[in-house]
Chain A
Amino acid sequence: MNTTLKISNVTKIYPGCVANDNVSLEFNSGKIYALLGENGAGKSTLVKILSGVIIPDEGKIYLNENNLKLNSPLDAKKNDIGMVFQHFNLFETLSVFENLIIDSDEQRESLKEKIDTIMKKYNFSIDLDIPVLNLSAGQKQKVEIIRCLIRSPKVLIMDEPTSVLTEQETSELFSSLKKFSEEGILIIYITHKLKEVMQLCDEVAVMRRGKLVSVSEIENENIESLANKMVGQNLKTIKKKKAKTSSDQLIKITNLNFTSEDPFETNLMDINFSVNRGECLGIAGISGNGQSELFQVLSGEIISEKNSIKFNNNYIGDLNPQERREYLMAFSPEDRLEQAAIPQMKIFENVALNNFKSSNFFNNGLINENKIKEHSKKIISDFNVNTDNIDLKSQFLSGGNLQKLIIGRELITSPDLLICFNPTWGLDVGAINYIHETLIEINEQNKSIILISTDTDELLKLSDKISVIHKGKLSKIMNAEEVTSEKLGILMGGAN
């Protein structure tokens, strides 16, 4: 039972941008295909066309020589195309089973049996009766996959599936995908992560600015060649010079505890560490082990005991974020659109938000718009934000540009310490490189960083010292040269 999916001359034009420019591709079952490209390259548009969410302006799609008319997601489902979106299409307040039965025509009992068989076969274990909002990201993704498998699809499309997964969950996903492929399901894997393409896929198609750039066998490629194709220019590899060892202590955390009333949060237990000037302390860990609580405690969103945080010889544990900024701390939270910036506000308004006191943005309670705009323009040019319109609403910036804006906003006051949480989460290679360079520069200016990240490669690249957080406890602090990603992996899993 061979499946062939053919995309023929597909074009989709949005006002001001050609999302897909005459794209033609052919896929055959038995192989895992990667569709690779930076954010905005047009790969999401292409898979949305395949899943019937978007209707193309031109072009045809053939499944086993049959011309498919995909006018709605329902059409895709009927034609045995299954799709797992990057942002899950689940109903959070419904139970897992309700989520699965809602688009199925089968009776309760027979569906239950079918789900049980699928779960046994692929070693999934999920409680069907609990609401989806209680599941981890990895489990939610499994629910999405089960939802596709129920219909025994011929084609399974995965859109950036690992962006929310831990490493453990990622490797589980990969082995499942390989199994599906062996059973004859055609798999199309959309990503911008090169390592995953090399690990998982057999063939790779690269897209750039809406156009198909290349199609090749994975054996003929390596990470560098793919990166260059994806970005369209040669990327320089960045490396951190070994920091001058300084013994000038900037921040010291002593016996810091945090007990949460929310059962979904992690308690922090007896946190102790210090960071010297010019140093970058990396904090590794699987997400959900207390990172976000730690970030909030350090930034002052959660207030702790006065003496537990000593910064520049001042005890600041009981200060709020605004007051901590006065002492020259700066923060870049994980969620760019929810925590760091207000999506509906304009770029220059967002720039003004964290500078209430220590600037001349406000005169007698009135906004000094010219000053703010001038300042915003400086950030945009200094930090390479790809827009010249500071009146643009922040939600229309791409993730990379928004992150550059946020880091720029924080750094322009030249703080002594920058605390950032997953600064490159979900960004494309170009933006990641830029952010990494910026962070290295900060250290070179003898300023310090606390980098909380779930990306081990990033931590190994940027940190001078590394610690691992597991269930709200920090491991001992290690010198970055002595650490390998294997060692971090073991500590992240909770072993000593």
Chain B
Amino acid sequence: MIIDINFIGLIIASIMASAVPLILASCGELITERSGVLNLGVEGMMIIGAISGFALMTVTGSLIIAIFGAMLAGVLISTIFAFLTQTLITNHVATGLALTIFGIGISAMIGKNFVGIPGKEFPVLYEGLKDTIPLLGPILFGHSIVFYFAFALPFITSYFLKKTKIGLIVRAVGDSPESASNQGINVRLVRYACILYGGAMSGLAGAYLSMIYTPQWIENMTGGRGWIALALVVFSTWNPIKILIGAMIFGGLTIIQFHMQAIGVRIPVQFLTALPYIVTIIVLVVISRDSRKIRLSTPSSLGKSFHKDN
């Protein structure tokens, strides 16, 4: 059997495409968590982004409005979370779970009128260059702008955290909000900003699903990707580059197990479906075993409320 080298390129490209929403949501959540806030509402924010993007695209016809509208929707819903956890000092875990349930419910309600409507084609870049290089052509070219942004994001995030002053402040707040506050840093402001940024990225991840990856609205279409994004953040030990690796493994196994099911490999389907979840976590645990590094990158105040006493 001769395998077309371009076919392998296409498979890799499809793996990368399926990793995009995970990378976006994880990198957003990573910033939120680095500031010490645990937002379990990623799944809810993603699905809100998905329906907002799709609805705006259908109603206005503008892709740009739809993409930015989806991000704005993510920001708005995360503002609820930020207000509850930072201003009213509610528990992060409970509030995040409520946010997810709220998001899934409200998206289903809004989405009723959009079921079965076909999506629009999203423009891709450098389509013509696809066939110029074997293997690499389909991997590098012919993708949407969101795709390229997603693959740049882990590196931008890493640079932001390590090299910029604002990144340093975010890490400092996550390490010790008390000390940060005593240093004159406005902890609440920083955490608000990080939560809202996480919301925008989750919204974008959702819009990618409903507008680019599978351009249509299906109820509950995020299908647990928000939870996987959360798991990636933790198991990557808050390292954006490892999120990229984890998302690729997850995407890869998801695609490969589809193909295996199609070929008719004699392994129970349930096992194949569960495989990406298990393997991704095992791999990330194995590559992040250095306990010293874990201690250094884990935000010490994660999930703890901070209130300034006076």
- A interface residue numbers (CB < 8 A to B): 53-55, 72-74, 77, 85, 88-94, 98, 101-103, 131, 133
Contacts and interface: CB of A to CB of B under 8 A. Distances in A.
Interface stretch (B94-102, B170-178, B227-235, B257-265): B170-178
What DSSP secondary structure best describes chain B's contact surface?
Answer: helix
Contacts of A74: 184
Interface stretch (B2-10, B56-64, B146-154, B292-300): B292-300
What DSSP secondary structure best describes chain A's contact surface?
Answer: loop
A101 B310 contact: no
A55 to B, nearest CB: 7
A137 to B, nearest CB: 16
Interface of B: 165, 168-169, 171-172, 175-176, 178-185, 295-298, 300, 310
Given A102-B172, A133-B295, A93 B300 contact: yes
Contacts of B172: 91, 94, 98, 102
6 contacts: A73-B183, A90-B179, A91-B180, A92-B175, A93-B295, A93-B297
A89 B183 CA distance: 8
Nearest to A88: B179
B53 to A, nearest CB: 37
Given A54-B310, A94-B175, A89 B168 contact: no
A94 B179 contact: no
A261 B142 CA distance: 52
B175 A89 contact: no
Contacts of A131: 296
B300 A92 contact: yes
Contacts of B295: 93, 133
Contacts of A91: 171-172, 175-176, 179-180
A249 B265 CA distance: 74
A55 B310 contact: yes
A73 B184 contact: yes
A93 B169 contact: no
B171 to A, nearest CB: 6
B182 A85 contact: yes
B209 to A, nearest CB: 34
A103 B183 contact: yes
B107 to A, nearest CB: 37
Nearest to A95: B296
Max chain A C-beta neighbours (<10 A), residue from B185, B297, B298: B185
A318 to B, nearest CB: 28
Contacts of B185: 102-103
Contacts of B165: 101-102
A432 to B, nearest CB: 28
A93 B301 CA distance: 11
B184 A77 contact: yes
Contacts of B296: 93, 131, 133
B175 A93 contact: yes
Nearest to B299: A93
Given A88-B179, A133-B296, 14 more contacts: A73-B182, A73-B183, A73-B184, A77-B184, A85-B182, A89-B183, A90-B176, A91-B179, A93-B171, A98-B168, A101-B165, A102-B165, A102-B169, A103-B184
A90 B182 CA distance: 10
A102 B167 CA distance: 10
A92 B180 CA distance: 12
Contacts of B182: 53, 73, 85, 89
A89 B185 CA distance: 12
B160 to A, nearest CB: 14
A131 B185 CA distance: 20
A101 B297 contact: no
The 4 closest A-B pairs by CB, nearest first: A74-B184, A89-B179, A91-B175, A89-B182
B178 A89 contact: yes
Given A73-B183, A74-B184, A89-B183, A94 B168 contact: yes
A174 to B, nearest CB: 25
